[in-house]
Each structure stands twice: as C-alpha cells, then as structure tokens.
C-alpha cells in the first residue's frame, strides 16, 4: 500500500468515526487497497455496526435488529432484507479476509443501516416531481399489442400524483399530456419547481421476450461502474445525492416488489441523463416489461398500475420517515 493510499484510508476511517453516533462502537474499520479500489474489512464493519454474522460457503449474512444483508464473495448481487441490491464492486477475499468496497459501504450500506446519520435538512420533503418517461413523438417501448410505453408511464404517474397530493405533498408532472419534452427540460422543470424528490416512471423492453420484472435505478456514484459494466463513472450533479438516492431507491423498490409480486431485478446503477443531471434525490422505476406478454397484460390493467403507484407512494413516505428519523 502506498503512503498516499494509506493516508486516503485513514481519511476514510476518520470520516466514518466522525459521522458515527454514540450508539455505535468505537471499533476501527481497516481498509485495503485492491486494484485501485479502497476496500474495508467486513469483519470490522460487522463489529462497528454491532451486527451478527453467519458464513456459509461464499455467502456472508449480516444480521442487525431490523436488517439482514447477504453478501456473496465475487458477486455484485447483494440482498438487503430479501431484496436484490446491485453493488458497485463484488465483495472479495484477500489474505483470508472478506472485504467490501468502501464506496458500497458508505454510499449504499450505511444509508440503509442508519439513515439518521445522513445530512440534516433532507427531511423537509414537500415537492415531488413525477416524470412520466417519453411522450409525443417519442413513444418509448412498444408492446406486441402496440401498447405505447409513454401511455402506461403517464397513467401510473397520474395515479401517483393524486395519491401524493392526498397525502399532503405538492406533486408535479414534468409533462401533463402526450407531448415530447427533452431530458434536459425535465430536469430544468424539476429545478424550477424546487423539487425535493424526482421520480421517473418507465416501462422496460427486451429482445428476450421472457425477460420480466421490476428494476429501480440510481445514478452510479463517481468512480463506480454502472450495473453490468466495469467502466467507472465520472462525477455528475446527481452524485451529490448518492446516499439519498440509495435509500429512496431501496424504499420504493421493496414496496413495488412486495405489492406487485413482480420478479425482483434489483436496485441498479446507471448513467441515465435524468438521473445524472438531478438537482435532488432521484430514481427511475422500470415498472415491468412491455415485451413480455404476461407483464404487458398486467400493465394494461388499471388495478395493477394503481398498485404500482401506491407502492411508489408508500416508498416515498417510508423514505420521508427515515429522513425524519422515525
Ligand atoms: Zn422508457
């Protein structure tokens, strides 16, 4: 380990201590530099958060009072409370020690284990900007039955809008009719309205007609790859909200999976423009595959779309509670 990377490790260690409330132990978290990525010793993480653990082959399960996290060595797919969560880097074994990346710990795991340590001021959530994907000349994905994605996105978005307004939020739509607006304009409107959260609604499509399920995207943190890729991302404005994006995605995703029973394709990281240029915590929900016959017919059902909208709304409320320390 170079002197420079040692210093960086010490800085990361201090940052963890500084943000730690008294309830957490004063155990140090050691770090290791592997292949240019800072990793932390999982055993130290377990002690630091006061968790219990169980090891079975390549699987390491961490247990807390309300949380269960399953890591698998050499796999980026983790499970948080039973829901699939794609890490930036696969946990690894080095000198007989299990390690996870420092970025995954600080930007993904920590916000879920203790959201109360996220910066203050983010519990003031009043304006929620809902972004029905596509519109006008841009129809988005098209199903075999010729259902346009833009139409399904709008129907879910409208349901979500009135549900959020019913709960006392101000809910805005980036488009309220079937018109084309650019991705930049969607983010400009969010900024103009002073959006506290940005929720983009989409439906998926794939060549493989059997592909189905729900996935929720956040912008990939700086220096980490998007899901399914290894090329690190450069910094974008949306990275300012990395920790909040993670927590928001987790809450919305688990609610949507539970409510719909859809296949859990996980929380994923991407470099979508609307997420990169975000001016507040932002996620993009892929509500299902229009290319899959079964999911297409579900998405065509108003009750199913209502369930999705209600689950997103519940996820937003749970995120709000978490930010308020409840
Ligand atoms: Zn789309």
**Residue 316's pLDDT band (cuts 50, 70, 90):** very high
Please tell me the predicted confidence (pLDDT) of residue 233. Answer: 85
Q: What percent of the chain lies above the pLDDT cut of 70?
A: 91
Average pLDDT over residues 79-102: 96
Question: In sequence order, which residues have a C-beta less than 8 Å from that of residue 253 and are 6 or more positions away?
Answer: 83, 214, 215, 216, 264, 266, 267, 285, 315
Answer whether 152's CB lies under 8 Å from 203's CB.
Answer: yes
| C-alpha 34 to ligand 1 mean position (Å) | 37
CA 289 – ligand 1 centroid, Å: 10
Residue 117: predicted pLDDT: 72
For each of the domains in the chain, give its residue range(s) and CATH number, in order of start. Answer: 3-117 (3.30.457.10), 127-323 (3.40.630.40)
Per-residue model confidence (pLDDT) at position 253 = 98
Q: How do residues 133-156 score in pLDDT, each as one tens digit?
A: 999 999 999 877 788 999 999 999
Q: To the nearest whole number, what is the mean pLDDT of the chain?
A: 90
Find the mean pLDDT for residues 321-326.
Answer: 85
Return the closest-CA partner of residue 92 out of 166, 155, 34.
34
Ligand 1 centroid to residue 141 C-alpha, Å: 6
Distance CA 164, CA 243 (A): 23
Distance from Cα 204 to the centre of ligand 1, integer Å: 6
Distance 234 CA to ligand 1 centre (A): 23
pLDDT band for 56, please (50, 70, 90 cuts). Answer: very high
Cα–ligand 1 centroid distance for 165 (angstroms)? 25
Question: Residue 76 C-alpha to ligand 1 middle, in angstroms?
Answer: 25
SS3 211: coil
Query: 150 CA to middle of ligand 1, Å?
Result: 7
Residues with CB under 5 A from ligand 1 (ion): 133, 140, 202
Backbone φ, ψ for residue 260 (5° rounding)? -100, -20
Res. 18: pLDDT tops 80:
no
| CA 133 to ligand 1 center in whole angstroms | 5
Q: What is the CA radius of gyration of the chain?
A: 20
Number of separate helices (H) and strands (E) present in the chain: 10, 15
How deeply is 67 buried, as exposed, middle or buried, from its count of CB atoms within 10 A (0-12, 13-18, 19+)? middle
**Residue predicted with more confidence, 121 or 24:** 121
Mean pLDDT within 270-295: 96
Q: 203 C-alpha vs ligand 1 centroid, how far in Å?
A: 5
Q: If you measure from the C-alpha of residue 197 to the centroid of ligand 1, how many angstroms do you get, rounded to a whole number?
A: 19
pLDDT of residue 174 exceeding 70? yes
Q: What is the DSSP string of 236-289?
A: -GGGGGHHHHHHHHHHHHHHHHHHH---EEEEEEE--HHHHT-SS-EEEEEEEE
**230: exposed, middle or buried (Cβ count in 10 Å: 0-12, 13-18, 19+):** exposed
CA–centroid distance, residue 216 to ligand 1 (Å): 12
How many A from CA of 252 to the centre of ligand 1?
A: 18
How far, in Å, is the centroid of ligand 1 from the Cα of 140? 5
Instruction: Give the distance (Å) from ligand 1 centre to CA of residue 306.
Output: 19
């Amino acid at each position: 380990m170079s002197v420079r990377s040692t210093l960086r490790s010490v800085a990361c260690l201090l940052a963890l201590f500084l943000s730690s409330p008294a309830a957490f132990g004063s155990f140090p978290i050691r770090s290791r530099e592997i292949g240019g990525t800072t990793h932390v010793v999982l055993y130290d993480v377990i002690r630091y958060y006061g968790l219990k653990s169980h090891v079975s082959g390549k699987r390491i399960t961490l247990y807390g009072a309300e949380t269960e996290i399953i890591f698998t060595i050499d796999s980026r797919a983790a499970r948080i409370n039973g829901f699939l969560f794609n890490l930036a880097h696969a946990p690894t074994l080095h000198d007989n020690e299990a390690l996870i990346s420092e970025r995954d710990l600080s930007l993904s795991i920590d916000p879920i284990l203790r959201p109360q340590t996220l910066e203050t001021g983010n519990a003031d959530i009043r304006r929620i900007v809902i972004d029905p994907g596509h519109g006008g000349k841009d129809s988005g994905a098209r199903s075999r039955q010729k259902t346009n994605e833009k139409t399904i996105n709008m129907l879910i978005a409208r349901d979500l809008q009135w549900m959020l307004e019913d709960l006392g939020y101000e809910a805005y739509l980036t488009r309220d009719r079937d018109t084309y607006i650019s991705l930049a304009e969607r983010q400009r409107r969010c900024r103009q309205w002073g959006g506290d959260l940005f929720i983009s609604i989409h439906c998926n499509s794939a060549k493989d007609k059997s592909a189905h399920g729900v996935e929720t995207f956040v912008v990939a943190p700086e220096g980490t790859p998007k899901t399914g890729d290894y090329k690190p991302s450069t910094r974008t404005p949306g990275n300012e909200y990395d920790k909040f994006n993670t927590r928001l995605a987790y809450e919305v995703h688990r609610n949507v999976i539970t409510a719909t029973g859809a296949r859990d394709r996980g929380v994923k990281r991407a470099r979508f423009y609307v997420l990169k240029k975000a001016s507040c915590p932002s996620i993009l929900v892929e509500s299902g595959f229009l290319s899959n016959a079964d999911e297409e017919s579900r998405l065509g059902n108003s009750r199913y779309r209502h369930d999705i909208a209600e689950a997103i709304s519940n996820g937003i409320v749970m995120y709000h509670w978490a930010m308020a320390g409840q």
